[in-house]
Structures are given as C-alpha cells and as structure tokens.
Amino acid sequence: MIIIRRAEDRGHFEHGWLDTWHTFSFADYHDPAHVHFRNLRVMNEDRIAGGQGFGMHPHRDMEIVTYVMEGELEHRDSMGNHGRIKPGIVQRMSAGTGVLHSEVNPGPGAVHLYQIWLFPAKRASSPATRRRPCPNTMAKAAWCWLPRPRARRARSPSTRTRGCTRQSWRKDANSATPCRRATAPGCRSHAAAWC
C-alpha cells in the first residue's frame, strides 16, 4: 500500500538557523496519526544555515540515513569517523549500542538535506558509519538504492521472504508526482516516501 502525504501537510518549524519539515512526530511536533510507518521512524527535510548545526548528541538502536541535496554537511562521531557528506553521497549511521555524533554545515550558505531514521532489525548491534555514492542525477531522476534493515525471517516456511538490504525510490525527472516505490527482487516493502 502506498500512502501519500503532501509536503505542505508535514510539521514545520523555523528556528532561524534551522528550517525543518517533519513527516512523522519529532521533537516539538506531535501528530498521533503520523508517529511512524512500520520501521520508518523519521523522515525530516532540513535546511541548516552556514556555520550552524547539531553539536555532539547521542543515538541508540536506530539506523540514520542522511542525503544532502545541496551544500555540505560535516559529520563527526565517537567512533572516530569524520567526513563531509555532499550531494551524490548517502551516509548510513547504525547507532546500535550507542554513538555520539555531530552534524554541522561548514559552509557559508545553507545545506539542504534529508534525514531518515529506521528502527533496526536487531537491537544492541555494534555502531558503524558508512558512506556510499548515489549520484545526484540518479537521486533526482532515476533509481537510487538506499540502505535498510534486513527483513526478519518469517515464522512459517510458506510465508518466508528472502533477506533484503536495500530499497529504491524513483521520481520521473519531468513530473511533480510522488516517487514510485520499487524493491529489489524478493523484498517486501517496509517504508513509504515521496520526492
């Protein structure tokens, strides 16, 4: 089932340094009808002013995917990882048993990004950070594979599905319609999104 939620229906806050849109309940935005969708917990669209960002803060038992549309975002974490996320790069941070990290816009102009949080398939795993290329042209007009937790093994052999670690979204380059959903062969859908 595909659920369409219009961009203008999301929660919106303007904090001066941060212009943020929340698809699901997050921080000061609470909408009982939109708390999460299956394992998809957060889908935020943020614009962070130059030189601003989120200082070191903790996460636990969450898969956090960050995709920068414009600008750069500097990431540092307690595992010793440090780098910049630019358009064309997808970063996944598995918070696992716990991690501290910061996200700061090192440039003078605003950075525009999407951050997606997923409940992990397994709690208390080892924390990890990983970046992968996802060319900006693919993200805007074609297929882009995003990481997601593996599907859980079904209890009955008759309903078992193969494990899956990725899901894709497609938007037609010349269309204002929401993204269409597709999954790799043998995968079941566990999220909803739009562009």
* Predicted pLDDT of residue 145: 52
**Structural domain tally of the chain?**
1
Q: Decide if 155 is inside a domain.
A: no
Q: Is residue 114 predicted with pLDDT exceeding 60? A: yes
The proportion of the chain whose per-residue pLDDT surpasses 90, expressed as a percent, equals: 64
Q: Decide if 120 is inside a domain.
A: yes
* Predicted pLDDT of residue 136: 58
Condensed to tens digits (0 to 9), the pLDDT of residues 34-58 reads: 999 899 999 999 999 999 999 999 9
Q: Decide if 177 is inside a domain.
A: no
The pLDDT of 60-82, averaged and rounded, is 97
Owning domain of residue 95:
9-142
Closest CA to 39 of 149, 125, 167, 146: 149
CATH number at residue 135: 2.60.120.10
* Predicted pLDDT of residue 192: 33
Q: Decide if 176 is inside a domain.
A: no
* Predicted pLDDT of residue 191: 37
Q: Decide if 152 is inside a domain.
A: no
CB environment 5-25: b (16+ within 10 A), e (fewer): beeeebbeeeeeebbbbbbbb
What separation, in Å, do the N-terminal and C-terminal C-alpha atoms of the chain show?
Answer: 17
Q: Decide if 147 is inside a domain.
A: no
* Predicted pLDDT of residue 90: 93
Q: Is residue 92 predicted with pLDDT exceeding 60? A: yes
Q: Decide if 194 is inside a domain.
A: no
Q: Is residue 22 predicted with pLDDT exceeding 60? A: yes
Q: Which residue has the tokens 């990882």?
A: 81
Distance CA 52, CA 30 (A): 25
Q: Is residue 189 predicted with pLDDT exceeding 50? A: no
Q: Decide if 27 is inside a domain.
A: yes
The pLDDT of 10-16, averaged and rounded, is 96
* Predicted pLDDT of residue 144: 54
Q: Is residue 186 predicted with pLDDT exceeding 70? A: no
